[in-house]
Amino acid sequence: MEAQEFAAGLAREGFVEIETKTIAARPANEDHGHDCIVRGMVLDGEFIVACNGKPRAYHKGEIFEVPANTPHTEEIGPGGTTIVVGRKY
C-alpha cells in the first residue's frame, strides 16, 4: 500500500492530523498515552511500540495502532524511520 492510499483510508475512517513524519534513531521514550487512537504505517526504517512492556517492531509496509489512553513507549530503530500517522478522537 502506498502512503497516499493509506492516508486517504485514515481520512475516510475519521482520522485527523494525518501527517508524514521522519524521525531520527532514538531509544524508547517514557511511558505515555494519547487521548485518541493512533494508527500509522511505516514507510521506511523501524518503529517499535511497546504496550504492557511487550515491544513490537514494525517495518516498511506494516501498520501499527495504539488504542486511546493505552500506556506505551515508542522507540526508533538505528536507521531512523518515516511513518504516516493519524489520530482519531
Alpha-carbon distance 51 to 12, whole Å?
27
pLDDT at 19: 98
The structural domains of the chain, with segments of one domain joined by +, span 3-88
pTM above 0.75, yes or no: yes
**Strand ranges in 1-89 using DSSP code E only, listed in sequence order:** 16-23, 37-51, 54-58, 63-66, 72-88
pLDDT at 39: 98
| Tens digit of each residue's pLDDT, the chain (89 residues) | 899 999 999 999 999 999 999 999 999 999 999 999 999 999 999 999 999 889 999 999 999 999 999 999 999 999 999 999 999 99
pLDDT at 47: 98
pLDDT at 53: 87
Q: Which CATH superfamily is domain 3-88 in?
A: Jelly Rolls (2.60.120.10)
